[in-house]
C-alpha cells in the first residue's frame, strides 16, 4: 500500500462516547490514554468520516509499511499519515527518545501558527530526542485550512512528529495536553471598541480555560498569544481553577526581542550582546521596556548608551509601537517573529536560564516582590531551572522612571480586569478603560 493511498483519512468533527458504547479496537494511542488513568474511561469516535478501512496492527515504523486502522470510523484522533499505528515504546528502547508530548495549538490555521507548527515539529523547540503530538484547534470557519496545514505537516516528513489531529472542540483537542499555545483570537476590526474585543476574545479564553480545567494534564503549561493576551490569560486561568495559576503565561517575549534589537542597533553591537531586558506590564502600548536593568556586554545599558533622552523616549516608544509600524509596512501583523518569540518563550522554560540573565513573561501576580497589584497577569523578569517552572527575579532596581510607567501599565491591566469581571466569576463588568490603550499593532 502506498502512502498516497493511505493518506486521505480525514474527519470533520468527533464526539466523545463512553467506552462501553464503542466497539473500537484500541490503537496505540487509545491504549496510552487508558493507561493514564482517566477517571471515566472514554474513547472517541468521529462523525463524518471520509476515509476507507483496512486491517489494523500495531508495529514499529522502523520495520513497518504504514497500515490503515481496522475501522477508520474508530480511528479518529489523527490526520492522514499520522493515522499510522506504531509502537513508540519499541523505538524509545533503541533511540533513547523521551516519551511523546502533546502540544495544543489554537488558531492553528492562522499566520503565526503557520510558522510555529513547523518549528515545533522539527525538534528545535523541545529537542531532537522529543517526539511530539500536535493537536490543532480551529473552527468550522477554518476547518479546510486546518486540513491544509495538516497536509503540509504530513509532507514535511518530520521524524519526531508522531501524531497530528485537528478539531473544533477544545474539550476533545485539549485532552491530556502538556502544552497549550493559545493563539486564535478575533482581530480588532475598524471602529471596534477595545471593551468589545475584550469581551469577544475573553469568551474564547473563558471556554478554553474551562476545557483545559476539564481535560488537560494538571501540569499543562499555557502560553496565551491571542490579544489582549494578558487579560485573556487572566480569564483563562480563572476558568481553570484546578491548574496552578503559575502555569499560565501571556506572551511578551516578542516585545523583549524587539527591545534587544533596538538597544543593539543604538549601541552598534550584535544583539546577542544584550541581556537582562525586562518588559514590564501589559502587551500594549503602555508596556515598559526596562533599560535601567538591561546590560550590553555585561555592562549596564546606561553606561554604554549615554543618551538618556533616547532611552526614555525614543527607545521606549519604538518598542511599544513596533508592531504597528510593522503592520504599516507589511500589511499584516508580525507572524514569523511572533512564532520565533513563542519558541524562545518555551525554550526559556525548558532549559536553564543562563547564569545572571532572565527573560520576560506575562505571569500571574501572586506574592510578587515589586509591589505590583496582585491577581493580574503582568510581564515581569523570570528565571527557570529548565523544568517548565520559573521564579521571579528579585535583584532588579525599580527607579522613579520605571515606577511611574509601571503604575500606568498596571492601571490599564486593573481596568481591563474590571471590564471582564463577568468572565472571571467576579461579578458585573465595569469598563472604564484608559482612552489611549492600544495593542502594539494599533496606531
**Binding positions for ligand NDP, rule: CB under 6 A:** 107, 109-112, 138-139, 141-142, 183-187, 204, 225-227, 229, 251, 254, 283, 333-335, 338
Name residue, grid cell 509601537: 321
Contact call for residue 110 and ligand OAA (CB under 6 A): no
Find the shortest distance in angstroms from Cβ 334 to ligand OAA. Answer: 4
Single out the residue of 237, 103, 268 nearest to residue 174, CA to CA.
Answer: 103
Query: Does residue 164 sit in helix, strand or coil?
Result: strand
Nine cell digits for residue 82: 499520522
Q: Is 283 labeled as catalytic in the residue annotation?
A: yes
Contact call for residue 339 and ligand OAA (CB under 6 A): no
Find the shortest distance in angstroms from Cβ 103 to ligand OAA. Answer: 22
Contact call for residue 441 and ligand OAA (CB under 6 A): yes
Number of chain positions touching ligand OAA (CB under 6 A): 9
Q: Which is nearer to ligand OAA, 38 or 332 (CB)?
A: 332
Nine cell digits for residue 68: 490503515
Query: Does residue 15 sit in helix, strand or coil?
Result: strand
Residue of 125, 182, 254, 339 that binds ligand OAA (CB under 6 A): 254
Rounded Cα–Cα distance for residues 179 and 176 (Å): 9
Q: Per-residue string for binding with ligand OAA, 194-233, x by CB under 6 A?
A: ---------------------------------x------
Q: Which is nearer to ligand OAA, 166 or 181 (CB)?
A: 181
The site partner of 107 among ligand OAA, ligand NDP, none (C-beta below 5 to 8 Å per kind) is ligand NDP
Count, residues in the chain: 443
CB 386 within 8 A of CB 350: yes
DSSP H helical segments within 19-173, as ranges?
Answer: 28-35, 88-95, 111-122, 143-155, 170-173
Single out the residue of 77, 37, 71 nearest to residue 52, CA to CA.
Answer: 71
Query: Does residue 263 sit in helix, strand or coil?
Result: helix
Which among 32, 115, 249, 283 is annotated as catalytic?
A: 283
The site partner of 181 among ligand OAA, ligand NDP, none (C-beta below 5 to 8 Å per kind) is none
C-alpha 105, offset from chain centre: 7
Q: Which stretch binds ligand OAA (CB under 6 A): 142-150, 157-165, 358-366, 434-442?
A: 434-442
Q: What is the DSSP string of 62-74?
A: TTPPP---S-GGG
CB 239 within 8 A of CB 421: no
Find the shortest distance in angstroms from Cβ 300 to ligand NDP. Answer: 27
Binding-site ranges for ligand OAA (CB under 6 A): 227, 254, 323, 333-334, 439-442
Q: List the catalytic residues.
A: 283
Amino acid at each position: 500500500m502506498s502512502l498516497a493511498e493511505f493518506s486521505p483519512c480525514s474527519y470533520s468533527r468527533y464526539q466523545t462516547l463512553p467506552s462501553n458504547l464503542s466497539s473500537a479496537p484500541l490503537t496505540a494511542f487509545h491504549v496510552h490514554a487508558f493507561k493514564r488513568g482517566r477517571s471515566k474511561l472514554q474513547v472517541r469516535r468521529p462523525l463524518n468520516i471520509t476515509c476507507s478501512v483496512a486491517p489494523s496492527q500495531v508495529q514499529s515504523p522502523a520495520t513497518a509499511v504504514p497500515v490503515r486502522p481496522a475501522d477508520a470510523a474508530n480511528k479518529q484522533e489523527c490526520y492522514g499519515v499520522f493515522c499510522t499505528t506504531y509502537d513508540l515504546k519499541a523505538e524509545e528502547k533503541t533511540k533513547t527518545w523521551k516519551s511523546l508530548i502533546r502540544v495544543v495549538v489554537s488558531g492553528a490555521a492562522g499566520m503565526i501558527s503557520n510558522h510555529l507548527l513547523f518549528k515545533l515539529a522539527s525538534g528545535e523547540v523541545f529537542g531532537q530526542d522529543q517526539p511530539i503530538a500536535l493537536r490543532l484547534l480551529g473552527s468550522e470557519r477554518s476547518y479546510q485550512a486546518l486540513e491544509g496545514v495538516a497536509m503540509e505537516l504530513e509532507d514535511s516528513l518530520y521524524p519526531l512528529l508522531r501524531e497530528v489531529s485537528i478539531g473544533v472542540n477544545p474539550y476533545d483537542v485539549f485532552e491530556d495536553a502538556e502544552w497549550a499555545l493559545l493563539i486564535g483570537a478575533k482581530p480588532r476590526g475598524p471602529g471596534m471598541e477595545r471593551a468589545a474585543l475584550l469581551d469577544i476574545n475573553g469568551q474564547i479564553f473563558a471556554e478554553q480555560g474551562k476545557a483545559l480545567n476539564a481535560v488537560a494534564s494538571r501540569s499543562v503549561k499555557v502560553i496565551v498569544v491571542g490579544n489582549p493576551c494578558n487579560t485573556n490569560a487572566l480569564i483563562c486561568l480563572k476558568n481553570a481553577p484546578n491548574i496552578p495559576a503559575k502555569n499560565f503565561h501571556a506572551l511578551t517575549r516578542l516585545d523583549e526581542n524587539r527591545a534587544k534589537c533596538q538597544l543593539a542597533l543604538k549601541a552598534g553591537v550584535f544583539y546577542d550582546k544584550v541581556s537582562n531586558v525586562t518588559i514590564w506590564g501589559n502587551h500594549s502600548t503602555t508596556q515598559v521596556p526596562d533599560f535601567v536593568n538591561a546590560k550590553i556586554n555585561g555592562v549596564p545599558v546606561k553606561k554604554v548608551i549615554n543618551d538618556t533622552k533616547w532611552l526614555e523616549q525614543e527607545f521606549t516608544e519604538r518598542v511599544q509601537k513596533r508592531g504597528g509600524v510593522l503592520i504599516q509596512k507589511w500589511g499584516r501583523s508580525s507572524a514569523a517573529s511572533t512564532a520565533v518569540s513563542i519558541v524562545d518563550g518555551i525554550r526559556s522554560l525548558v532549559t536553564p536560564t543562563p547564569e545572571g540573565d532572565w527573560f520576560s513573561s506575562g505571569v500571574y501576580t501572586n506574592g510578587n516582590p515589586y509591589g505590583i497589584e496582585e491577581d493580574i497577569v503582568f510581564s515581569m523578569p523570570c528565571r527557570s531551572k529548565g523544568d517548565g517552572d520559573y521564579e521571579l527575579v528579585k535583584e532588579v532596581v525599580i527607579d522613579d522612571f520605571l515606577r511611574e510607567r509601571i503604575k500606568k501599565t498596571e492601571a490599564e491591566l486593573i481596568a481591563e480586569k474590571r471590564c471582564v469581571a463577568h468572565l472571571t466569576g467576579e461579578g458585573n463588568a465595569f469598563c472604564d478603560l484608559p482612552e489611549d490603550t492600544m495593542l502594539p499593532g494599533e496606531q
